[in-house]
């Protein structure tokens, strides 16, 4: 059985092992495959029975040009890069990895918030640059330092990741409120559920942990920002298109939003003309919330188990209805 991984480097830049998949077939790992050259995708998967991808698109033509293809595994949670309809027509299950990064993504959301509150990286560099040594005072700080205790965190999207972030926020002494269409018993133990407008009005920190649906695309925009407190902090390490980026940049520059911490943007990798690159008090990281080694190992393990389940005739984590 021929197994092909189209873009293995992001998941495994060398600190993990592919052994789990190597035991299941003849494995070929490409570090990268063109995101735009369909012919390269087709040439690499044409003879494969099993294909894994992270962000390399597998479209209808690629699927239909691969007569031996039996299974498509996505090395991520999002699967919009695969034409799931074309795969369904061929009876090919598409399987994703739904829960590997919950702890890591919640931790990273809080990390972005703490960096905004203390600018630790900036002040560490200032010390190394000699500014503390030459300081006439006992200490110094270049930004307002923010204590989070007793402030309100509003989390939009209160599933597994949202609840993880909420638990950490409560440990910091924050009051946690949440908006989600589905209320859960576990969520009610962590947060007070409110309407979206109530959340926007009451929150000192707004955190996005909702999936990208038509109903949530652009949920942070000039109108929703206008409903927020002056000086609000916004955190997004969920999906970039949840934010209308020009509207957020304008709000940062005019001071309505004090700061933003973002691990995602609308088009990735980020484009040089993204207005948030020049916005005030905006921290942007390169979509790495999911990437601790522990999280990537969990992803690897689940990918292997997904394939084993398929080979055993009982596929799991199927996103296109093919059983």
Residues 178 and 154: beta-carbon distance below 8 Å: yes
End-to-end CA distance of the chain: 20
What percent of the chain lies above the pLDDT cut of 90? Answer: 98
Q: pLDDT per residue over 115-166, tens digit each?
A: 999 999 999 999 999 999 999 999 999 999 999 999 999 999 999 999 999 9
Q: Which of 239, 245, 296, 298 is an active site residue? A: 239
Average pLDDT over the chain reads 97
Q: Among this protein's residues, is 268 annotated catalytic?
A: yes
Instruction: Report strand pairing: 232-236 vs 175-179.
Output: unpaired
Single pTM value for the model:
0.94
Task: Please name each of the domains of the chain with its CATH number.
Answer: 2-100+293-311 (3.40.50.720), 102-284 (3.40.50.720)
Q: Which of 44, 287, 296, 298 is an active site residue? A: 287
Q: Among this protein's residues, is 287 annotated catalytic?
A: yes
Residues 58 and 81: beta-carbon distance below 8 Å: yes
Residues 208 and 235: beta-carbon distance below 8 Å: yes
Q: pLDDT per residue over 191-241, tens digit each?
A: 999 999 999 999 999 999 999 999 999 999 999 999 999 999 999 999 999
Supply the pLDDT for residue 323. Answer: 84
Cβ-based neighbour number of residue 89 at 10 Å: 14
Pairwise CA distance, residues 318 & 98, whole Å: 10
């Amino acid at each position: 059985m021929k197994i092909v991984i189209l873009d293995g480097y992001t998941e495994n830049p060398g600190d993990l092992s592919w052994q789990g998949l190597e035991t299941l077939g003849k494995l070929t790992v490409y570090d990268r495959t063109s995101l735009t050259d369909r012919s390269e995708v087709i040439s690499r998967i044409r003879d494969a029975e099993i294909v894994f991808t992270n962000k390399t698109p597998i479209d209808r033509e690629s699927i239909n040009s691969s007569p031996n293809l039996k299974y498509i595994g996505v090395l991520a949670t999002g699967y919009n890069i695969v034409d799931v309809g074309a795969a369904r027509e061929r009876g090919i299950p598409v399987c994703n990895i739904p829960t590997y990064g919950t702890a890591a993504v919640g931790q990273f959301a809080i990390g972005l918030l703490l960096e905004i509150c203390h600018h630790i990286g900036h002040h560490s560099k200032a010390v190394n640059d000699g500014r503390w040594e030459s300081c006439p005072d006992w200490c110094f700080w270049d930004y307002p330092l923010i204590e989070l205790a007793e402030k309100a965190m509003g989390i939009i999207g209160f599933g597994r990741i949202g609840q993880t972030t909420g638990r950490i926020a409560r440990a910091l002494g924050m009051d946690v409120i949440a908006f989600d269409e589905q209320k859960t018993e576990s969520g009610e133990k962590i947060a007070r559920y409110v309407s979206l407008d109530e959340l926007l009005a009451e929150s000192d920190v707004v955190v996005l942990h909702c999936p990208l649906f038509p109903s949530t695309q652009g949920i942070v925009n000039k109108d929703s920002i206008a409903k927020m407190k002056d000086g609000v902090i916004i955190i997004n390490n969920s999906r970039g298109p949840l934010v209308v980026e020009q509207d957020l940049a304008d709000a940062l520059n005019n001071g309505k939003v004090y700061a933003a911490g973002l691990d995602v943007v609308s088009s990735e990798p980020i484009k040089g003309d993204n207005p948030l690159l020049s916005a005030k008090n905006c921290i942007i990281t390169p979509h790495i919330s999911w990437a601790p080694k522990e999280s990537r190992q969990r992803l690897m393990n689940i990918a292997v188990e997904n394939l084993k389940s398929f080979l055993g005739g009982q596929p799991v984590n199927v996103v296109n209805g093919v059983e």
